[in-house]
Structure 1
Amino acid sequence: MDGTARARSIPPHMAVYAEQHQVFHILQKMVENLLIDRPEDPIQYLIDHLKKDNDDVPRIVVLGPPASGKHTMAQLLYRRLNATRLTPEDLLSSDVSALVEEALAYKGKEQEIPDALWARIIQERLSQVDCTKRGWVLEGFPRTREQALLLQIQGISPDHVVVLDAPDIVLIERNIGKRIDPTTGEVYHVTFDWPEDPELQRKLVEPAGITEDETGKRLLEYHRNIPGILRAFPKKYKKINADQPCMDVFSQVLTFVLSKPRSLAPFTPRILLYGPPGSGRSLQAMLLAQKYDIVNVSCGQVLKEAVADQTKRGLLIEPYIEKQQQVPDNLVLRLLGERLSRLDCATQGWVLHGFPRDVEQAALLQDAGHIPNRVFFLDIPDDVAIERLSLRMTDPVSGERYHSLYRPAPRVEVHERLQQNPADAEQKVQARLDMYHAGAEELEEFYQDVVHVNADQDPYTVHEFIESCVIRPLPKRDPRGPPST
């Protein structure tokens, strides 16, 4: 027999481990840095990279026209994130290196510092321990597209680029009112941020280049350069309206920089649908499977197929099904485990319904390594469930299913021959509902990230809500505190 024709079984623990520990993300970062730095000893380089453990530190660039609040936002960010704040001026006044001395020589001759030299100075500073361990916030640089591209050549690629924006007339008014403390370098404003201390007021001086004409020239230069800069950072920048109260601006900036860049890691959905009888689990599973090409795994269908195929386990569970008794959990789990471990489930993902029904079954499923990454509880009132099930009947001739309220039989003769499934009798439905409620609370505690869905509405509305929760990342859990997005 050709071994390649058999259904291959893939250990479920592999996908769960890779997802929990972000293995793909780690490998992606390692390869990116390897290709940028191109070290002579790649193995030792990768070992050193893992020891640094700094893939998630902030790497932020704050840009904006004059008087847009770059300085204030950068200060608030580095304090909030405990990162290193850098400005072009600070880079030239920090510990002197050969590169800084070269730049100061240009400055002493009143010449422009070459862009390539700026990029090397920044790369040298960002390679120091405080930046690699705590991350960095770079303020007001790059100023041109050429500088942005040279930073990338040096392997400097921010995760977030904050672009502050405001009308020119507002920026000119702000700039004219600027005052600076020559001792500390703190910036104040005669209208918006004037200090109360009279002695400090007397110390403040008017900075150079804040007249209306000079501000207008700087704004014109900024508007000419910013489109090219942003093209160098596609999908990494966000424009934020700076013409609003400072803390409102900072709130939006902080929300943006705390957001994770979209991961390229493959996401394999493992969806569990749980709900009372009549909640529409089968329909929602079918809709998800059709749209996203994931495997629809119905516990009841798996058992029926095993019996129909006369497999060894199918022969074991056949007496239970014939007598309408509950199949032992160990037999159900073996069949489900085999189905969920097949290649299609491991590569495409799966949506499971009909199992587990209580916390004991959930624990067995988890011990077997089949851990869902989305758990939905489809909620409907008991009277709605009874109405949905007890009023449905089947035409024995055509096999069509009808409902007295939602889909009545089209003709009288069809209505007269309709038959009800004994399991849909009101008393039996109520008994199944009681069993559901007995295990629902413990199951919700077992699966901590349960998403409740109001299933008492149009099924396609329910599907859209489930779909939005499947494609949206779940919040990361911080063991030291509440979940943070």
Structure 2
Amino acid sequence: MTPITFSLATCEWVLASDLDSCYKRTANHRIAMDETAKPLRIPPEMAIYAEKHEIFDLVQTLVTNLMVDKPEDPIQYLIVLLKRGSVEVPRVMLLGPPASGKRTVARKLCEHTQVIHITDSNILKEDTDLTKKALQYKAKQQEIPGDLWIKLIQQRLSKIDCVRRGWVLEGIPQTREEALSLQEAGVAPNHVDVYHVTFIWPEDKEVVQRLERLKAVSEKQLVAQLMQHHREVHALRKTYRNCLKVIDADQPHVDVFDQVLTYILSRHCSVAPHTPRVLLFGPPGSGKSLLAKLISQKYNIVNLCCGELLEAVSADATNMGELIKPYLESGQQVPDSMVLQILTERLSRLDCTTRGWVLHGFPRDLEQAEKLQESNFIPSRVFFLEMTDDVAIERVTLRSIDPVTGERYHSLYKPAPSPEVQTRLQFNPKDSEAQLLRQLKEYWANASSLQDLYPEAVHINADQDPHTVFESLESRLVGRLQNDA
């Protein structure tokens, strides 16, 4: 018989509540009711105040507790929660295949946080009518009906120790159907930990020992458990997909536990996600446009290129569009006051205030940056993309575009596929070396003062493959999101 080999791969954390998306759907519905209405603008001071005083976090936590516990007197219940000081207790689900370390992590987690460890076996130790009924099925070697099992879980979690201290559900739920039934019953976790396995023998000795000990279980039974897990894990992830945190679990359980504990004890795992406001700086050719596009696509935030925004406004039949059109047509710089007015109006719209934004192309100097700060549009994450002038010249001056297909090419990195395409390629006059050198001189003249204004900015080497740069930027972006929380 073919030997069974597998290893731990990843561990994912999910914030089960989704108030933020609810707010977005409600707001979008209100706007859709009147297509002629102007875009709703929200003063930036509101978001800044709310984040500073953790209003979003507080409201989400209160409402979540309210919906889970369903008290008869909601007002008094909320007053008690607020007086208690900490309105959130851990409600954790640890899921995974055989030998994934759920039991070890669950026990250590309960020791450190004093939450209640709940397993399918200790649920059945309760002396209640429901457990007696369930044990009758067990005695007949029959499966406990799903609705009865959900009632048993709900009964245990409603006890005062779980309500006050929180709980860890180990190996529960096992299917998407169970997960949905628990949600309907008001069992809402604030952390879901899903372990995955792949069919590769692990290098870690501790993991190997766990798997070898598991061989005491018949191979047929082990295969059945693994197949059951793999059938259900995708659906379970989909059930808790709204906020996802990935932790590498292919390592000793002590390291896994340290990351799990840190994440549970941090407020990040129990609060509404803060709105990301990302600012990208870098010389011409550093990849700001591509990186902004990738960030926007992955995190569903608004991609704002200042130059493209000005062109869009110029194309509109508005007073501001008519004012800036002569500047753009003549190649002159649009006055800062006009740029700032256009930009702040766009940043105040609902999509930017609820989803967040990534901005590039502005500010270009210290004065513009200070005016942006004075308008209360303060970035929460700032990145400087760094590379030498030689690399910038190579990237910019050798790029071209096919006027027929619109495809972009580069003499070194992406040459034309045929002589026919090569002959019709066009080079943008703005990409000339003389023009580029002027832009580089302007950038470096202002870079130092901008870096002083944003001392916590992250500096990333942009002289790499664009996707490698994105991975580096993303790792810092996610890390700062956790620190912000």
TM-score (norm 1): 0.57
Q: Secondary structure at the match of 1:5?
A: coil
1:296 to 303, 309, 318: 303
1:253 to 251, 257, 263: 257
Deviations 1:257-282 (CA, angstroms, capped at 9, x unpaired)? 22148568467554322210111223
Partners of 1:318 and 1:288 in 2: how far apart?
A: 30
The AA in structure 2 aligned to 1:33 is N
Q: Deviation at 1:42?
A: 0.7
Residue 9 (1) aligns with residue 41 (2) = yes
Over 3 Å counting, the alpha-carbon distance change for 1:402 and 1:421 in structure 2 is: farther
**Residue in structure 2 matched with residue 440 of structure 1 by the alignment:** 447
1:27 to 59, 62, 78: 59
Partners of 1:402 and 1:274 in 2: how far apart?
A: 24
- Native 8 Å contact 1:59 1:159 kept in 2: yes
What is the percent sequence identity of the aligned residues? 45
The aligned length equals 401
Partners of 2:116 and 2:377 in 1: how far apart?
A: 47
| Structure 1, unaligned runs of 5 or more | 64-68, 89-101, 104-115, 143-148, 172-215, 217-223, 479-483
- Native 8 Å contact 2:67 2:186 kept in 1: no
Q: Deviation at 1:349?
A: 4.1
Partners of 2:190 and 2:272 in 1: how far apart?
A: 19
Partners of 2:372 and 2:71 in 1: how far apart?
A: 45
Partners of 1:370 and 1:433 in 2: how far apart?
A: 26
Aligned ranges for residues 205-216 of structure 1 at < 5 Å? none
Partners of 2:430 and 2:247 in 1: how far apart?
A: 62
**Residue in structure 2 matched with residue 49 of structure 1 by the alignment:** 81
The AA in structure 2 aligned to 1:425 is E
Q: Deviation at 1:386?
A: 1.5
Partners of 1:321 and 1:371 in 2: how far apart?
A: 27
Aligned ranges for residues 312-327 of structure 1 at < 5 Å? 312-318=319-325, 320-321=327-328, 324-327=331-334
Over 3 Å counting, the alpha-carbon distance change for 1:454 and 1:45 in structure 2 is: same
Aligned ranges for residues 112-261 of structure 1 at < 5 Å? 126=161, 167=210, 249-260=253-264
Partners of 1:411 and 1:402 in 2: how far apart?
A: 14
Residue 355 (1) aligns with residue 355 (2) = no
Q: Secondary structure at the match of 1:363?
A: helix
Over 3 Å counting, the alpha-carbon distance change for 1:87 and 1:293 in structure 2 is: closer
The AA in structure 2 aligned to 1:433 is L
Q: Deviation at 1:36?
A: 3.6
- Native 8 Å contact 2:327 2:334 kept in 1: yes
Over 3 Å counting, the alpha-carbon distance change for 1:436 and 1:170 in structure 2 is: same
The AA in structure 1 aligned to 2:40 is R
Residue 37 (1) aligns with residue 37 (2) = no
Q: Secondary structure at the match of 1:29?
A: helix
Over 3 Å counting, the alpha-carbon distance change for 1:332 and 1:124 in structure 2 is: same
**Residue in structure 2 matched with residue 425 of structure 1 by the alignment:** 433
Partners of 1:313 and 1:73 in 2: how far apart?
A: 60
Aligned ranges for residues 400-419 of structure 1 at < 5 Å? 403-406=410-413, 407=415, 410=419, 414=423
Partners of 1:301 and 1:117 in 2: how far apart?
A: 58
Partners of 1:155 and 1:460 in 2: how far apart?
A: 40
Q: Deviation at 1:49?
A: 1.0
Q: Deviation at 1:325?
A: 4.3
TM-score (norm 2): 0.57
Q: Deviation at 1:25?
A: 3.9
Q: Which moved more, 1:390-399 or 1:314-323?
A: 390-399
The AA in structure 1 aligned to 2:437 is Q
Aligned ranges for residues 270-309 of structure 1 at < 5 Å? 270-289=277-296, 294-309=301-316
Q: Secondary structure at the match of 1:376?
A: strand
Q: Secondary structure at the match of 2:39?
A: coil
Q: Deviation at 1:424?
A: 2.5
- Native 8 Å contact 1:293 1:348 kept in 2: yes
- Native 8 Å contact 1:395 1:414 kept in 2: no
Q: Deviation at 1:367?
A: 2.9
Partners of 1:282 and 1:309 in 2: how far apart?
A: 23
Deviations 1:263-321 (CA, angstroms, capped at 9, x unpaired)? 68467554322210111223333455566665432212223333444643345445654
- Native 8 Å contact 1:77 1:254 kept in 2: no
**Residue in structure 2 matched with residue 96 of structure 1 by the alignment:** none
Say which one has the larger Rg.
1
Over 3 Å counting, the alpha-carbon distance change for 1:78 and 1:282 in structure 2 is: closer
- Native 8 Å contact 1:75 1:85 kept in 2: no
The AA in structure 2 aligned to 1:257 is L
- Native 8 Å contact 2:61 2:87 kept in 1: yes
**Residue in structure 2 matched with residue 457 of structure 1 by the alignment:** 464
CA RMSD of aligned residues (A): 6.3
Q: Deviation at 1:448?
A: 5.3
Q: Secondary structure at the match of 1:372?
A: coil
Q: Which moved more, 1:375-384 or 1:120-129?
A: 120-129
**Residue in structure 1 matched with residue 480 of structure 2 by the alignment:** 474
The AA in structure 2 aligned to 1:40 is E
Partners of 1:10 and 1:400 in 2: how far apart?
A: 38
**Residue in structure 2 matched with residue 99 of structure 1 by the alignment:** none
Partners of 1:400 and 1:154 in 2: how far apart?
A: 53
The AA in structure 1 aligned to 2:256 is Q
Over 3 Å counting, the alpha-carbon distance change for 1:384 and 1:120 in structure 2 is: closer
**Residue in structure 2 matched with residue 211 of structure 1 by the alignment:** none
- Native 8 Å contact 2:107 2:117 kept in 1: no
Deviations 1:71-94 (CA, angstroms, capped at 9, x unpaired)? 998998688x6x558899xxxxxx
Deviations 1:86-139 (CA, angstroms, capped at 9, x unpaired)? 899xxxxxxxxxxxxx99xxxxxxxxxxxx99999997773899x5xxx8999x
Partners of 1:342 and 1:39 in 2: how far apart?
A: 37
